Structure 1
Amino acid sequence: MKFYNSIGPNPRVVKMFMHEKGITLPYVEVDLMAGENRKEPYVAKNPGGQLPALELDDGTVLTEITNICEYLEEKNPSTTPLFGSTPEERAETRMWTRRVDLGICEPLANGFRFAEGLPLFKDRMLTRPEAAEGLKAMAQDKLAWLDKLMEGKDYIAGKRMTYADIHLFVFLDFGASVGQPLNPALKNINAWFNRMKARSSAVGTA
């Protein structure tokens, strides 16, 4: 297998996941800033032009970070389960992943793309600069909602660290670097964030 890598939060989610699982794959670096991901030969493998991508030994190319991580977990079930060991745990992880992705990560990312990241993205995708501030506010609103639910919890799903934690951590860490810092009033989220940031997988993929 080969992992098509670049800068940005999406590849980092998978790299942090692989670090936690003890998975090592060869990387193929793709220059996102130069738009290499929007040109041949990369678009022949991934017509959507997104990064990262995982190319399997038979030539199949998988995209979308949650799908890639679920595949890697199924192929490596004996290492630390980050989706879960039972149907109930996996369902809970997927529930939280969807909540944080749709409610926080997507609006955070598009808020960046439509504002600070506009010079890079305006010719690569449909952008709506007028929506940027509203999207950022949506992400902050859901973070405040999650902060209340995190009371007394070590991780989003309780005592076990899951893929949902990795997904949210990476996007919040990215957001803090592009004008969307964590609100210090969100005490539970900040404590959780600091626990995640101290993990060797976070340090090793920063």
Structure 2
Amino acid sequence: MKLYQSLGPNPRVVLMYLAETGVAVDRQFIDIMAAENRQPEFCTKSPLGHTPLLELDDGSCIAESIAICEYLDETAAGHALLGATAEERAKTRMLARIVDQLVVVPMTAGFRGAEGLPMFQSRMLCLPDAAADLKRLAADGLASVDNMIGAGPWALGARFSLADIILYSFVEFGAMVGQPLDPALANLATWRERVAARPSAAASANPKLGIGEPA
């Protein structure tokens, strides 16, 4: 297998998953700043130009970070971060879906319409007039998640899961693009500190690590 990775929170989700589980795959860095992900050669593998992308041994490809992690969890990691039972896996997917819809979608759309507009406006539909409202939606979503997770220690209680990885990757992304976590969200603030202390948080911070690039 080969993982095509790049800058960004979605690639970080997969890198953090790999660091947590120890699953090993070959990696290739794709420079999205130079639009390598929009070139014909890459788009034959990922028609939408999305990273990360997992190329399987038979040449078929899986895009989307959550789908990649679920595939690896089922085939290589023994349900390490989705859950050991059908109920645990359903609850992980439930929270991952909530985080994706309430936080990830408006946060990334708000970024593309504001700070990211110079990079993305020639590549996809951006909504600069809606950017501020999209950021408000993301902030409201984080407040809802803060209420859901309670005192933790993890997003699903005692079990660290893929949902923690997704949420952490985008909380950190928000902090870098003008959408910082509201310090009044006490549950998320202490949860963030706990996740940041995990070795996988540091291991996933630089997408070039592990593929022969300098730190």
- Report the TM range for the smaller structure's normalisation: over 0.9
Q: Determine which structure has greater relative contact order: mean sequence separation of CA pairs < 8 Å that are 6+ residues apart, divided by chain length.
A: 2
Note the residue ranges of structure 2 that are not aligned, 5 or more in a row.
206-215
Number of the residue aligned with 2:211: none
Note the residue ranges of structure 1 that are not aligned, 5 or more in a row.
none
What is the alpha-carbon distance in structure 2 between the residues aligned to residue 77 and residue 120 of structure 1? 36
SS in 1 for 2:133: helix
Q: CA deviation at 1:77?
A: 3.8
Scaled by the length of structure 2, the TM-score of the pair is 0.93
Deviations 1:127-172 (A, max 9, x none): 1101111111011112112222222321111110110110010011
Number of the residue aligned with 2:136: 137
What is the one-letter code of the residue matched to 1:40?
P
Number of the residue aligned with 2:103: 104
SS in 2 for 1:4: strand
Determine whether 1:67 maps to 2:99: no
Determine whether 1:194 maps to 2:193: yes
Deviations 1:63-92 (A, max 9, x none): 0111100000111244x7100000000000
Give percent identity, aligned residues only: 48
- The alignment's C-alpha RMSD in Å is 1.0
Number of the residue aligned with 1:185: 184
Determine whether 1:167 maps to 2:138: no
What is the alpha-carbon distance in structure 2 between the residues aligned to residue 42 and residue 139 of structure 1? 31
What is the one-letter code of the residue matched to 2:95?
W
SS in 2 for 1:3: strand
Q: CA deviation at 1:201?
A: 0.3
What is the one-letter code of the residue matched to 1:137?
R
Aligned length: 205
What is the alpha-carbon distance in structure 2 between the residues aligned to residue 144 and residue 31 of structure 1? 33
What is the alpha-carbon distance in structure 2 between the residues aligned to residue 153 and residue 12 of structure 1? 22
How is 1:9-48 mapped onto 2 (pairs within 5 angstroms)? Answer: 9-48=9-48
What is the alpha-carbon distance in structure 2 between the residues aligned to residue 147 and residue 30 of structure 1? 34
What is the alpha-carbon distance in structure 2 between the residues aligned to residue 109 and residue 194 of structure 1? 23
What is the alpha-carbon distance in structure 2 between the residues aligned to residue 180 and residue 205 of structure 1? 20
What is the alpha-carbon distance in structure 2 between the residues aligned to residue 77 and residue 140 of structure 1? 33
Number of the residue aligned with 1:84: 83
Number of the residue aligned with 2:147: 148
